[in-house]
Structure 1
């Protein structure tokens, strides 16, 4: 891509392929589950299985990303999930796939995703100049959104109806292609100053401890991680059972699977727009205000499907959802990459994501249980309330401008409007 270099082009291509696989799997697996059961708790287990590895493996994945060649970690992870899903697709084609085998396949794909995504965020700053991070992240987020929602979601809706086995086999092919695409990146992609504490489990624990201490001592990153964790848990609870509210004859809205995929496409269209205008939004509002406003918009939109369950209204709502979510996502990723030293990036990023994403399986499982006991609207309203509370938490510490290189004492340079990291 113009001005971003050869290695970034191959990295972006790999991200585009793997995220198309993510999109098919993310939407297709819950739709497959709905054909097997109408239990909210069991359907929510699909989302829990996909995100549980972040809770269990985020910290080791960060240590691996700082020890090994990050490109190689991504290639091996993509190859691993390709193999697991290919096996599940073969079982589906033979007619012996059940809900529990599908959950196992989703869990395996989730384990690989933790290692692939952690290494990907750590390797990106090694492929582009520091002043192009926002542009590069915007392109990656755009590719993620197109793959996850714009292309993957409607494709999943079609495949569930016409060829269910392809919901699993298709992503397997895409992950394999993503692994091969990384071969075009030239050079070594290890951390500039790899960990020197030695080998073995004890050394890895010390490296992980260093990352945790760094994150906890950085006031803004710590608060950002906690806020993101609450938001993601609320999102997992919400979207884990939303398909039951929207899709099928017994649902409140009555969408067909194709209509659900189209709604995700509308969300993706908004997210692509958000990834492209994020820099402009930051210039207009400042980084801190942009983050708070976008997260608040996302939180309040949780109320729309439950208070106004009208099919046509879902599509403009999804567009705005996409704009707000992608704009905030680009800002958060770029901020972390600027504030965290290169030699700690994999581990601190993984510590952040343990907090930020570790609550997702808990949220998904809790959403299913609450929906089973108290009904779907309680889950939706509770998710909205939790999300608003998380936005209020980050609003207390977010400066207008979040920037500046780190100094040796872990503070941000005291430019106007910036934040001390203590």
Structure 2
């Protein structure tokens, strides 16, 4: 097996730091919001602000990633969100940190994240040998989970009560360091097609959307991902109210909530590392559908059994299932989509997948305000199950034996 290489090492290190920043911000921002208001609608706005940029800028980020050096885009995007959060930190130290400052900081950092993440998924196949893409994605997913959940969540739970400004100040430093690390990657990360005649941005975007819609499996996967992320955003946008505080159903403290996210990360690290082996035993299709089904059903555990200790093993299994599915989905996209279209088609895919999240987060808050938290949590589970059904229907006729005797998801749909 060829080595992943020095450039991938810098990419992985940068990913680890930027996702640690993501983890602190993702958990810290809602906890800051809860300390400022108990309104489900206002609390859910933190999730909407973080994901709204995907709806607004995903297509443009993909087109730009296919035109310019993808590494440089990532460097600039990381430095930009570092600067935004540094300003928010200054306001916090002056005693001016309020809900609207938090929302503005999360929103602007989210804009930079769209460009950074779109280019990151597109640059990985250029930085590693083709036969090591799944292994590389497994390591990237591990770094993301360790930073996002394992380390970031408990840090956020701790500092939100000790020094609220650190919830944005810490990520500011980490994003800056992540951007500088990427400078260690050698070579150019611009596709050969990008050096040809320049076309209009709109034409590039339309070409990618047509390609995505013409590919049956990619199209089904994108719609299913959109439904899953819509439901998850609604669920997690108000789950903090179900779990944290004296008036909540579970009654967790902010630090205990952070530890729950750490438990999820432990499972996610394991899931990302074993995904290749498990899919080899059971087949890529069975593994993907099974993982998504388990993840969907686990949404019901805190609803029917709102017991603090039970949340932790649930979160571990949640992490295993979610990460294993993500590795398979990302690796398949990277192999199926031509290199010169990867940024644009990835962004068109993620527009559906991520663009549904702000809508889900905002709607979840409104429904919780009107009908209660239980309706949102149970309804989100139902939407997840429908999404799993779509993927199962697309794969049903072809999933009958393990990978050793049937085509993989990639092989099954390569010509479709």
**TM-score for both structures, normalised by structure 2:** 0.96
Segments of 5+ residues of structure 2 without an aligned counterpart are none
Distance 1:352 1:266, change over 3 A: same
* Residues in 1 aligned to 2:258 and 2:211: alpha-carbon distance in whole angstroms: 41
Corresponding residue pairs, total: 410
Q: Distance in 2 between the 1:417 and 1:364 partners?
A: 36
**Structure 2 equivalent of residue 153 of structure 1:** 153
Look up the match of 1:172: 172
Deviation at 1:51, TM superposition (A): 0.1
How do 1:2-401 residues align onto structure 2 when only pairs under 5 Å count? Answer: 3-194=3-194, 196=196, 198=198, 203-398=200-395, 399-400=398-399
Mapped partners of 1:183, 1:6: distance in 2: 12
User: Per the alignment, in what secondary structure is the counterpart of residue 193 of structure 2?
Assistant: coil
1:60-92 superposed Cα distances (whole Å, 9 cap, x missing partner)? 000010000000000000000000001001111
Q: Deviations over 1:222-266 (max 9, x none)?
A: 000000000000000000000000001111111000000000000
Shift of the 197–3 alpha-carbon distance from structure 1 to 2, 3 Å rule, reads same
Deviation of the 1:192 alpha carbon: 2.9
Measured after TM superposition, the shift of residue 198 of structure 1 is 2.1
Distance between the aligned counterparts of 2:306 and 2:16, measured in 1?
33
How far off is 1:28 after superposition?
A: 0.2
Distance (whole Å) between structure 2 residues aligned to residue 123 and residue 419 of structure 1: 23
Question: How far apart, CA to CA, are the structure 1 residues paired with 2:216 and 2:194?
Answer: 25
C-alpha change, 1:263 and 1:272, in structure 2 (3 Å) is same
Q: What whole-Å deviation, never above 9, does each CA across 1:118-152 have from its counterpart, x for those lacking one? A: 00000000010111000000000000000000000
Deviation at 1:285, TM superposition (A): 1.0
Q: Is the 8 A contact 2:282 2:402 kept in 1?
A: no
Gap change, CA 1:209 and 1:33, over 3 Å in 2: same
Residue deviations 1:355-414, cap 9 Å, x none?
1111000000000000000000000000000000000001111244999xxxxxxxxx99
User: Please, what is the CA RMSD of the aligned residues?
Assistant: 1.8
Measure how far apart 1:419 and its partner are.
2.8
Distance 1:208 1:421 in 2: 22
Give the direction of change, closer, same or farther, for the CA distance of 1:235–1:197 in structure 2 (3 Å limit).
farther
Q: What TM-score do the two structures reach when normalised by structure 1?
A: 0.95
Aligned 8 A contact 1:157 1:257 in 2: yes
State the SS of the aligned residue for 1:248: coil
Unaligned runs of 5+ in 1: 404-412
